[in-house]
Structure 1
């Protein structure tokens, strides 16, 4: 399996919210959509013909070889605990500084509970619920939590997003594009052209497809595609 850095460029859904709306403005990151080589295609009839995903090199550092299973497990648990704690600090900030008293707790995995967050979004607002509150009052806490996100298996993420993209097209969202792989990192699919959005995410058909295909996405991916 290929495991690479979690700080891969991301694109896609409006709830790209986290990275596109927060990380890019604050850190001046260039958030790409479908950049680099990959398997996506804007041709709906060819999107299911996907190139193979690059495999890992199989090389391990000396530190990795010296670390036993028990050490790796303990480190993994510690990392997840730190991620959860950081997300809780962000949630508390959103409830207090941002004034969103009903902002939901993160899941036990540490990832934010986007379906519950969606329920409290002000349709007349600017999406502050997705980007650290009005004026980014909680952006520091959000970025701190993002920095502690455990490393993800990029091949598994790719396959999950690919299955989700295919499901979305099968459910009627014909222009929903495939994810791609770039430099060993899974790049979300979704909007065929972020500079000129074509997907109507507020339409009943899109919402129905998204609900029907939600289970295709692994935990932590629901806000990225």
Structure 2
């Protein structure tokens, strides 16, 4: 698989997969507007997402399977992998909540100008199993609150000059992040002063753990 060269684009694609949970059946529904209004946009999900577990086998992501202590420990294991096998010695510690410090990761990614900071290591996703193990232990989140937080953040980003920033969507109770409308071939320049200014102005709209996901 060819990964997008922009680190935030890769992060968004990864988050879209990891934030989804398997459901027995999905039905398409209509609602919302063109992705820029305040009404909820409903999108269908073409298939049940899965991630590669520590054993290397494909398995659906489970949400809320661990407590905060286990989540923090798993994230720390991922961080240590990134600093070791991943070759990113300055990879930042997780927050006390267990969530990664995406502000610091963004800064490091832009400073280094390389994909490994967010791509799971200097080799092809060398720390992917550790990252997946941590995500599977993330305490259960409130999907509706996450959606509302991301929606407020997307609106703020557009109000602050990033006009292409899209809304998140919900389907089957899952939240799919918004952001760049074409993450594989980014239309938003995340290195521009205008984008950085907007991100700083809107960072308080995102709940803890949502930074870097859209």
Tell me, yes or no, if structure 1 residue 215 matches structure 2 residue 208: no
CA contact (8 A) 2:149 2:206 kept: yes
Cα drift, residue 51 of structure 1: 3.5
Cα drift, residue 220 of structure 1: 0.9
Secondary structure in structure 2 of the residue aligned to 1:92: helix
CA contact (8 A) 1:38 1:180 kept: no
Tell me, yes or no, if structure 1 residue 113 matches structure 2 residue 106: no
CA contact (8 A) 2:149 2:207 kept: yes
Higher relative contact order (CA 8 A, sep 6+): 1
For 2:13, the equivalent position in structure 1 comes to 20
For 2:115, the equivalent position in structure 1 comes to 127
Tell me, yes or no, if structure 1 residue 191 matches structure 2 residue 167: no
Cα drift, residue 18 of structure 1: 4.5
Supply the distance in 1 between the matched residues of 2:89 and 2:182 (Cα, whole angstroms).
35
Q: 1:201/1:183 Cα in 2 relative to 1: closer, same or farther (>3 Å)?
A: same
Cα drift, residue 123 of structure 1: 5.2
Cα drift, residue 16 of structure 1: 5.5
Supply the distance in 2 between the matched residues of 1:99 and 1:195 (Cα, whole angstroms).
24
Task: Please list every run of 5 or more consecutive structure 2 residues that lacks an aligned counterpart in the other structure.
Answer: 1-5, 18-27, 43-63
Flag as ranges the 4+ runs of structure 1 deviating above 6 A.
none
Given candidates 33, 37, 41, the residue that maps to 1:48 is 37
Query: Alignment length, in residue pairs?
Result: 177
Cα drift, residue 103 of structure 1: 1.4
Given candidates 128, 134, 153, the residue that maps to 1:139 is 128
Alignment of 1:144-155 (within 5 A): 144-155=133-144
TM-score normalised to structure 1 length = 0.68
Q: 1:86/1:21 Cα in 2 relative to 1: closer, same or farther (>3 Å)?
A: same
Give the aligned CA root-mean-square deviation in angstroms.
Answer: 2.9
Secondary structure in structure 1 of the residue aligned to 2:109: coil
CA contact (8 A) 1:37 1:180 kept: no
Task: Say which one has the larger Rg.
Answer: 1
Task: Please list every run of 5 or more consecutive structure 1 residues that lacks an aligned counterpart in the other structure.
Answer: 1-12, 25-34, 54-75
